[in-house]
Amino acid sequence: MPNKTFFWFFLPTGLAMILFIGLPIISTGIQSFYAQHDQVVKEVKKCDPFGCTVSIVVDQEKTSKIREEKPLGKFNGFGTYVDRNHLAIEEIRKFWNETNSFGEFVDQVTNLPFYKALIFTLTYCLFVTPNVLLLGFIIALSLNAVTRRIRGPLIFGTILPMIVTPLVGSLVLFWMIDAEGIIGANLQMLMDDPYLSLKSSKTLTWITIIIYGIWHHSPFAFVVFYAALQTVPQEPVEAAIIDGASRWQRVRHIVLPHIYPVVTFVALISLMDNFRVFEPIIGFSAEGSAQSLSWLIYDNLVNEEVILFGSAAATSMMTIVGIAILLAPVLIRTWKEFRTAR
Amino acid sequence: MEYGLDKRSNALKIFNTTFIIVWLLVACFPFIWTFWGSFKVRADFFSRADWWYAITAFNTLLETGGKFTTDAYSQAWTEGEFWKASRNTVIVTFFVVTISLFLGTLGAYALSRSTRNYAFWILIAALIFRAMPHITLVSGYLFPFFQLQIWGILPTTIVVLVAINQPFTLWLLYSFFKTVPKELDESALIDGCSYFQAFRHIIMPVMWPGVITAGLFSLMLAYNDFTVTALLLNQENHTMVPKIQSYLGTNQHEGNLMWAVSAVVSATAPLFMLVMFFQRQVISGLTAGAVKG
């Protein structure tokens, strides 16, 4: 296709992506170097018959004027990146000098908001992704062994958790697991602990969100694996049966190598999706004990007094760096393949 | 895979059946339970005393005189203004699907027919864009949108959702267009068609399955979105998902939680029916890029 024709065909979608994905990333980058203005304060002298007092109040007029003049805020350089709510360089140095044992140091650091969120996000990715692959693969194998006639409805039932939005999916589970719901109440009876509830324990909350993640993402892995299983050639499988290979050996040495490229694809997609975990935290109202990077950004953006654009943007930029690190191996591989293909 | 040679032991068959039944229960029961509970009053569905009330409908009987009640639905739809939210969802979904299919088919067709290097790089860029968490993009939108005073209205959200949706649509349609033989449009070009005419009259008529799949995914994205709609729309224009979240509120009074339950059911039901109807397309879409490796 000639370049000119390509240009006109691609212009609308290219423009949409540049304007609403490319530019926002740049805008986020710029915002991250600014911080909201401090409030302008003034001294007010108040005199009454008993004497005069000087009090400090916020000068509303000047504050709103300065905000209007420079809506982006004041220039802060990398200040936002290193402050207490982000990388917290100074705090970490302080902890390093003041704490006695390494354990204590780690404890202190993981209490800082950014690191807390980072650790939750990574833990979530680390536990959800492999389990999604495993469960998805098992479901695909076992559905593949069912009579063809009833597979349709079974597949429909299987993909339900995936097609609802994460907020709805997590709410539906939360209403059952909560202390007043069916599972929660029964657990309380079983454990003989009337105070057992999701909100009371950090570990329980984390486990619940991770289970939710596996529940929500496995159907996707299932669908892809199931489709891939349909393409496994029959001859090697039959040959293996004749040679006396066990079922496990067949899966291990014939099926898995065949669908290997698909496994990397699913792993990549689900890693990307898990890294942005956010809605389940709202659905499970787990803000207290589990915060993710995306949730931190959301929290800054819905801040009641003044939207913390700078802070949200700094966290966003660091999230993007995280995504880039996740994607790097794939991009490098694609680049190499592309070079050799030419 | 039915192998003549492959004899499954009975133990394996039983294990397999049990596993599938357990998994289906895990996958579907939460939805069935929520559907059932949405016809109860709050004291039953969220019973402090005894969860068994949710089945016997003890309080529902006391409060409304029947075992099932549709109070939660009628209140959420009228008083809770869920009708407005669902109207907004319909508007947003309709325009997002139409516009993103229009842009996506044009772009993906060009990508699939170009042999240059830049086509490859554009696809890679789209993959990177696909990986961006939506919330990071939203933090980039908010400030400029406030300055331009286009925050809070439906058209802005529609355009944003279309753009966010483009990378995925492009990839999906690209892999579909690749399956349409090149000779088809080449012969049309020789006969004197322009590229656009070939696209419009020769390629599009054979592309409907792919277009339907891509449309379904745009629809699910627009319908299910929370991040963008919650932060870019004002209260008045909220779509269903942010509306459900607003019912949860921190200081919930008696009725609201049941509003959320009934709203969840109302929002999920059409989606389930749609997927039941188009199951084949959804699955072909999910596997389009994957199976070819």
Please, which pLDDT band fits residue A139 given cuts at 50, 70 and 90? Answer: very high
Residue A308 falls inside a structural domain:
no
Q: For an interface test with A, which of B139, B189, B193, B276 has the most A Cβ atoms less than 10 Å from its Cβ?
A: B139
Residue A252 falls inside a structural domain:
yes
Which of A86, A105, A124 corresponds to the end of one domain?
A105
pLDDT of residue B49: 66
The pLDDT tens digits of the residues spanning A89-106 come to 888 888 888 888 888 888
Residue closest to A275 by CA, chosen among B161, B290, B132: B132
Is A152 in the same domain as A84? no
Please, which pLDDT band fits residue B253 given cuts at 50, 70 and 90? Answer: low
Is A174 in the same domain as A219? yes
Is A254 in the same domain as A156? yes
The pLDDT tens digits of the residues spanning A7-30 come to 899 999 999 999 989 899 999 999
Q: Does B234 touch chain A (CB under 8 A)?
A: no
Residue A43 falls inside a structural domain:
no
With a pLDDT cut of 90, the percent of chain A lying above it is 21
The pLDDT tens digits of the residues spanning A254-276 come to 888 888 878 888 888 888 889 98
| Contact state of B46 with A1 under an 8 Å Cβ cutoff | no
Is the pLDDT at B1 greater than 60, yes or no? no
The backbone region for B149, taken as left when phi is positive above 0, alpha when psi lies in -120 to 50, beta otherwise, is: left
* Phi then psi dihedrals of residue B6, to 5 deg: -85, 105
Please, which pLDDT band fits residue B48 given cuts at 50, 70 and 90? Answer: low
Is the pLDDT at A213 greater than 90, yes or no? yes
pLDDT of residue A209: 93
The encoded tokens of residue B61 equal 């009987």
| Contact state of B272 with A300 under an 8 Å Cβ cutoff | no
Is A176 in the same domain as A128? yes
pLDDT of residue B3: 47
Average pLDDT on B158-185 reads 88
Least confident window among A80-84, B49-53, B112-116, B261-265: B49-53
Is A173 in the same domain as A82? no
The pLDDT tens digits of the residues spanning B194-210 come to 888 888 888 888 888 88
Is A200 in the same domain as A98? no
- The whole-angstrom separation of Cα B166 and Cα A225 is 25
Mean pLDDT of chain A: 85
Domain that holds residue A193: 114-302
pLDDT of residue B114: 85
Residue recorded with tokens 């999230």: A319
Domain B84-239 classified CATH 1.10.3720.10?
yes
pLDDT of residue B96: 95
Is A162 in the same domain as A249? yes
pLDDT of residue A241: 86
pLDDT of residue B288: 63
Is the pLDDT at B163 greater than 90, yes or no? yes
Least confident window among B3-17, B97-111, B192-206, B228-242: B3-17
Helix (H) or strand (E) holding A54: strand A51-58
Mean pLDDT of chain B: 84
Alpha-carbon distance A56 to nearest alpha carbon in chain B (angstroms) = 31
pLDDT of residue B289: 53
pLDDT of residue A212: 93
Distance spanning both ends of chain B, measured CA to CA: 21
Residue A222 falls inside a structural domain:
yes
Is A269 in the same domain as A183? yes
pLDDT of residue B291: 46
The encoded tokens of residue B116 equal 């240059």
DSSP state of A20: I
Is A189 in the same domain as A140? yes
Average pLDDT on A32-49 reads 79
Domain residue limits, chain B = 84-239
CB pairs under 8 A between A and B: 278
Give the ipTM of the model, two decimals please. 0.86
B248: which chain A residues are within 8 Å (Cβ-Cβ)? 171, 285
Q: Does B204 touch chain A (CB under 8 A)?
A: no
Please, which pLDDT band fits residue B2 given cuts at 50, 70 and 90? Answer: very low
Helix (H) or strand (E) holding B177: helix B154-178
Least confident window among A67-71, A76-80, B2-6: B2-6
Closest chain A residue to the Cα of B260, Cα to Cα = A171
pLDDT of residue A133: 94
Residue A268 falls inside a structural domain:
yes
Sort strands A41-48 and A34-35 into parallel, antiparallel or unpaired. unpaired
CA A23 to chain CA mean position, Å: 22
pTM for this entry:
0.87
Residue A254 falls inside a structural domain:
yes
Is A220 in the same domain as A95? no
The encoded tokens of residue A104 equal 């204590």
Average pLDDT on B47-65 reads 74
Is A218 in the same domain as A93? no
Is the pLDDT at A131 greater than 90, yes or no? yes
- Taking only residues 58 to 87 of chain A, the set having a beta carbon closer than 8 angstroms to any beta carbon of chain B reads 71-72
Is the pLDDT at B188 greater than 80, yes or no? yes
Average pLDDT on B214-236 reads 89
Is the pLDDT at B255 greater than 70, yes or no? no
Please, which pLDDT band fits residue B90 given cuts at 50, 70 and 90? Answer: very high
* Number of domain units in chain A: 2
Distances (CA, A) of B111 to B12, B69, B105, B175, B176: 48, 54, 10, 10, 11
Please, which pLDDT band fits residue A336 given cuts at 50, 70 and 90? Answer: confident
pLDDT of residue A197: 72
B48: which chain A residues are within 8 Å (Cβ-Cβ)? 180
Q: Does A340 touch chain B (CB under 8 A)?
A: no
pLDDT of residue B87: 93
CATH code of residue A294: 1.10.3720.10
Average pLDDT on A123-141 reads 93
With a pLDDT cut of 70, the percent of chain B lying above it is 91
Do residues B37 and B52 lie in contact, with contact meaning Cβ atoms separated by under 8 Å? no
Residue A250 falls inside a structural domain:
yes
With a pLDDT cut of 70, the percent of chain A lying above it is 99
Task: Calculate ∠ Cα A17-A18-A19, nearest 5°.
Answer: 95
Do residues B1 and A144 lie in contact, with contact meaning Cβ atoms separated by under 8 Å? yes
pLDDT of residue B6: 62
Residue A195 falls inside a structural domain:
yes
Is the pLDDT at B7 greater than 70, yes or no? no
Of B3, B109, B113, the CB nearest to A238: B3
Q: Does A171 touch chain B (CB under 8 A)?
A: yes
The pLDDT tens digits of the residues spanning B71-85 come to 888 888 888 888 989
Is A133 in the same domain as A85? no
